[in-house]
Structure 1
Amino acid sequence: MNGTAAALTFVWLGMILAISFLEAPLKFRAPGVTLPIGLGIGRLVFRALNGAEIVLAVGLGVFVAAGQPGAAATIAAGVAPALLLVQLLVVRPRLSRRTARVLGGEQGPRSHAHIAYVIVETAKVAALITAGALLMVASA
């Protein structure tokens, strides 16, 4: 059970690293990609990523509960889903409103919510690395 939980954790980590820290910034450097086009793509990609994250978080919770890896691993495995909830319930709505305004033609200063999203995403990466490592130790 703990090995499966660790595997889910590292799959989740890989998705975040690939999308949030690779695809997201690179798409704006592609020829012909304007801010509205990049934001439209980002909206679709992050909606799909967040949906996959929810599935992975639920699976992680189920396998951690079944595997009983110990307090440290359990707490570490609970941090990433908690941070995901912060992103979904607090940060994403602000980003979505800003994206809608830009797609509607409005211009203005950059959103501070984007910085908050990156900070929470970075914390989530650290939580997943920690949880994955502790779950691997628990499965040995």
Structure 2
Amino acid sequence: MTELAIRVAAAATLIWLGMVLAISFLEAPLKFRAEGLELRVGLAIGRIVFRALNIAEVVWAVVIAVCLAVAGESGPVLLLAAATAVLLTVQLLLVRPWLNRRSARVLAGQHAPRSRAHHAYIGLEALKLGALVALGAALLAG
């Protein structure tokens, strides 16, 4: 059962990693390069996509936590999983609400200056990406 739990945690970690790479580092930046795409439309799509991504991330974090608890993991693997969960929590509770307020203003037709929250989100996303790579490697090496 322990080996299965570790394999499921590794799979969940790598799926989560792939989702972050595909959406945050590929889809989101490329979307705004599409010819004719208005900012408001891009923001509306982005809100939906990132809401779905964040829900999936919470699910993956819970799956990983349950698997690590079942396996009785401790040490570096548990630390990496906790760090990843903390980064996600900061994004969801501190940065996303700030971004949502700005995008709501733009969608309502108001002018909203560029937000530093976007840079904070990208920075946290890069850190989370590194944590997921490290966690996946640690789980596969275990």
TM-score normalised according to structure 1 size? 0.95
1:83 equivalent to 2:87? Answer yes
Aligned to 1:17: 21
Deviations 1:47-77 (A, max 9, x none): 0000101110000000011113331011111
Q: How does 1:98-137 map to 2 (within 5 A)?
A: 98-137=102-141
Paired with 1:50 and 1:135, the residues of 2 have a C-alpha distance of 23
Specify the code of the residue in structure 1 equivalent to 2:134: T
Paired with 2:74 and 2:14, the residues of 1 have a C-alpha distance of 19
Specify the code of the residue in structure 1 equivalent to 2:46: G
Aligned to 1:7: 11
Paired with 1:69 and 1:130, the residues of 2 have a C-alpha distance of 15
Aligned to 2:45: 41
1:92 equivalent to 2:108? Answer no
Deviations 1:82-133 (A, max 9, x none): 1111011000000000000111112242110000000000000000001111
Deviations 1:24-65 (A, max 9, x none): 011111122111000000000000000101110000000011
Moved more, 100-109 or 124-133: 100-109
Specify the code of the residue in structure 1 equivalent to 2:105: R
TM-score normalised according to structure 2 size? 0.94
Specify the code of the residue in structure 2 equivalent to 1:41: I
Specify the code of the residue in structure 1 equivalent to 2:61: A
- Equivalent pair of 2:6/2:71 in contact (CA under 8 Å): yes
The ranges of structure 1 where at least 4 consecutive aligned residues each deviate by more than 2 angstroms after the TM superposition are none
Count of residue correspondences:
138
Structure 1 residue 2 displacement after superposition: 1.1
Specify the code of the residue in structure 2 equivalent to 1:78: A
Paired with 1:68 and 1:24, the residues of 2 have a C-alpha distance of 37
Aligned to 1:51: 55
Alignment identity in percent? 54
Show structure 2 runs of 5+ residues with no match.
none
